[in-house]
Structure 1
Amino acid sequence: MALMEISIIPLGTGSTSLGRYVAEVKRYLEERGIPHTLTDMGTIIEGEVEDLFRIARELHEIPFKAGAKRVYTALKIDDRRDKEVHLGTKVESVKRYLSS
């Protein structure tokens, strides 16, 4: 299992607000039951690496379907092979260090 952080930024939309695009991304993920966490700077998604790349491609298309003429998408993938990682495990690890 891997984690992907994705930020999708439509350009040239005539507005600096991105909320409606973010809402469409969240709706897409929820309708498909894809584990994710929405943050102020992007969305973190959990899945197999092959699936994450496919999801990233599909999410990248959402602003185009909403009329954007240009889309900038930034990805970060953490593919750890020595043990399972899931949404929240990194935060829990930091909390354990803070409490000791």
Structure 2
Amino acid sequence: MFAPRFVVSMLGALAAFAIATYFLTGSIASTAVQTLLCAVLIQVGYFLAVLFLVWKEARDRRKLSPGQLPADPTNDEKQTGKLSLRRLNRPPHFNS
């Protein structure tokens, strides 16, 4: 998960939620409370998703024996002169 993209998406979803809630309830106070609750739920979900990804990666690394650790892509590039696919699949910088 790419954090800046997530934050922008979350703010967009919260804005849409706030607009819809305001049109349904007509109350700014109720809209603010419900939007705040929605933001907290989104953050909890994001935290749990990141926690799951870290747990899954740690589990996969534990399954590998020390002799089977994946090769370091930077060493592969230096040794063979090939371009690593890992570098090509990285998300672009969020300012570009």
Query: Normalization by structure 1: what TM-score?
Result: 0.27
Query: Normalization by structure 2: what TM-score?
Result: 0.28
Q: Per chain length, whose mean CA-contact separation is higher, i.e. which structure has more relative contact order (CA < 8 Å, sep 6+)?
A: 1
Q: Which has the higher strand share?
A: 1
Q: Which has the higher helix share?
A: 2
